Amino acid sequence: MKVLVMRIDLKANYVHSLKEKRMIVKSLIGRLQNNFNISIREVENQDLHQLISIGIVKLDLINKESDQSKDKIINFIEENCEAEIIDIESEIINY
């Protein structure tokens, strides 16, 4: 079993309040959960209105599936979110 662990940092320069940021994060998390079989949560920067940090965990059987999942998740975020991806950390753990 392979465990894909990702942390994605996004910057949303157009956001002007925490309320607006929460709406964006909630929408993004919901769409990602509906499209991929993942666990996802905002993990940091909750008090900063222009920075979004999300953590993602996904189980796969082989490394190839984890790599494909990672690419699909990143592409989905780029295509469906106006926020800019500024950093991606990922690791595939053999379990």
Q: What confidence tens digit (pLDDT) does each residue in 15-51 have? A: 888 888 898 899 999 999 999 989 999 998 878 888 9
Residue 79: other Cβ atoms inside 10 A: 7
What structural domains does the chain harbor?
2-94 (3.30.70.1120)
- Reported as type and span, the H/E element at residue 13 is none
* Cα distances (Å, whole numbers) of residue 42 to 1, 23, 29, 92: 25, 12, 8, 20
Q: pLDDT tens for residues 50-85?
A: 899 999 999 989 888 888 999 999 999 999 888 899
